[in-house]
Structure 1
Amino acid sequence: MANIKSAIKRVKTAEKRRVANVQRKSAMRSAIKAVETFAAEGNKDQAVLTFATASKKIDKAAAKGLIHSNKAGRDKSRLAKLVNAL
Structure 2
Amino acid sequence: MANIKSAKKRILVAEKKAARNKAIRSEVKTEIKKVEAAVEAGDKAAVEAALKHATSVIEKAGTKGVYKKNNVARKVSRIAKAANKVQ
The TM-score with structure 2 as length reference comes to: 0.90
Unaligned runs of 5+ in 2: none
CA distance in 2, matches of 1:49, 1:76: 14
User: 2:60 matched to 1:60?
Assistant: yes
Separation (CA, whole Å) in 2 of partners of 1:15 and 1:71: 23
Identity percentage of aligned residues: 38
Q: Which has the higher contact order (CA 8 A, sep 6+)?
A: 2
Residue 80 of structure 1 aligns with an amino acid whose one-letter code is: A
Structure 1 length-normalised TM: 0.91
Amino acid at match of 1:57: V
Runs of 5+ in structure 1 lacking a partner? none
Q: Once superposed, which parts of structure 1, at least 4 consecutive aligned residues long, lie more than 6 Å away?
A: none
The residue aligned with 2:83 is 83
Q: 1:50-75: CA deviations, max 9, x gaps?
A: 11111011111212222221121111
Count of aligned residue pairs for this structure pair = 86
